Each structure stands twice: as structure tokens, then as C-alpha cells.
Structure 1
Amino acid sequence: MFREDNGDYIIREVFYDADDTILGCTAEAVEPMGRTIEELATSIADFHAALALPVLTLADIPQPAHDRPTRPQRQTFSSADVRAKLGLPEKPTTLPQKPS
């Protein structure tokens, strides 16, 4: 069971590792369901059992580390550097005007 920031209580599915450390949870609330009446009854019983567990908040859920891969640094050149490297004049010449 989770207490939301607005004070509401909802049930989320929580995922644990082998030593019962919380790995994460579903973003949205879950609801009882089943393909048969018996499965639905079991699901409702699981929800009822969740009421006896400690109430969690999203702050109790570890946030995944989003390590972005680092891009290799590229060397940049100014337009003046490129012009010099290519042997072009420092300032571009004006284009000839089209006859009117």
C-alpha cells in the first residue's frame, strides 16, 4: 500500500530482490483481477493482506541510476580556422549579382 502525495492510498505492485530489498514498483495503481472467480478472490485476498504491511511512499522506492554513456569529445573548429586550413580568404567574397 502506498500513500500518495495528495493523501490518497493506492496499491502498487512492488518488486523485491532475493534478500527482500525493494527494487522498484509499478508507476500506476493496480487492481484486483482474475480469469476465474477463484483467481479474483485470491487477488482480493492479496490486496487485503497488503493492508497489514507497512505503508510506503514513492520516496521509499530506490530511483534507478540513469548513467548516460559519455560521448567522446570532438574537436571543434571556428569558421576562420576552417577557412585558413582550406586556404580560403578570411572573409567570403560577395557573390556576383544577377542581372536585373
Structure 2
Amino acid sequence: MITWNYRVFREDDGDFIIREVFYDDDGAILGCTAHAVEPCGRSLEELTTSLADFQAALALPTLTLGDMPQPSMERPTAPRGCTLSSAEVRAKLGLHSEVASPKKAS
């Protein structure tokens, strides 16, 4: 299950912003939002919770975009020799290869 929290980032220009950071099951960082996020809520209670979550981010180590894992530029390759023709699929599933023609009314 992917989890997330808010984290403080130091930008290249020296500014500090908050981003959402996403983690895998082992707690390793998967990535972050491209842009800063802001506190929000549909009620004052939700806004209060959002602000508390932002406040919690201040207690965690500051990150930079350089701390984020870089996406792999390798293109996935399709397995070789694992493709079947439609006739082979029909045969494996026990389907007839002929399509029955509709009967004419007498």
C-alpha cells in the first residue's frame, strides 16, 4: 500500500516549500508532487487538520528534489516467444474456430 505525507523541500533558489511525498510498503520514497501544496479543507476542522499535517512536516528532515528517486529511462521489453495467434488462443480455450451462421426462418 502506498502511503504519503507532507515534507519540507529546499528549492534550488533557497526557498522552502511543502510537497506531498509518496512511500512504498517498506517506507522507501517513490516520488513527490511536482509543485508545492497548500493547506485546504471543506470545513474549519479539515483546514485545522491540514495545518497540523503541515506543521508535522517541519519536524522531519528537509529534502531536495535531488533526494527523489530518478525514473528509469529504460523501456520495458516484451517477453519473446510468449505470443499466441488468435487461432492458438481459441484452440487452448476449446473454442471453435468457425462462426456459426444464423439460421434462416422457414
Counterpart in 2 of 1:56? 63
In the alignment, the residues of structure 2 paired with residue 13 and residue 61 of structure 1 have an alpha-carbon distance, to the nearest angstrom, of 12
Unaligned runs of 5+ in 1: 71-100
In the alignment, the residues of structure 2 paired with residue 4 and residue 54 of structure 1 have an alpha-carbon distance, to the nearest angstrom, of 14
Match of 2:40 among 29, 33, 41: 33
Match of 1:66 among 73, 80, 97: 73
Identity in percent: 73
Higher-strand-fraction structure: 2
- TM-aligned CA deviation for residue 4 of structure 1: 0.2
Normalising by structure 2, report the TM-score: 0.63
Aligned residues: 70
| Over 3 Å off, 4+ runs | none
In the alignment, the residues of structure 1 paired with residue 35 and residue 70 of structure 2 have an alpha-carbon distance, to the nearest angstrom, of 16
- Give the AA of the match of 2:73: H
SS at match of 2:19: coil
The one-character-per-residue Cα deviations of 1:25-70 (angstroms, maximum 9, x if unpaired) are: 0000000011111001000000001000000000000011022367
Normalising by structure 1, report the TM-score: 0.67
Counterpart in 2 of 1:90? none
Superposed CA RMSD in Å reads 1.2
In the alignment, the residues of structure 1 paired with residue 24 and residue 33 of structure 2 have an alpha-carbon distance, to the nearest angstrom, of 15
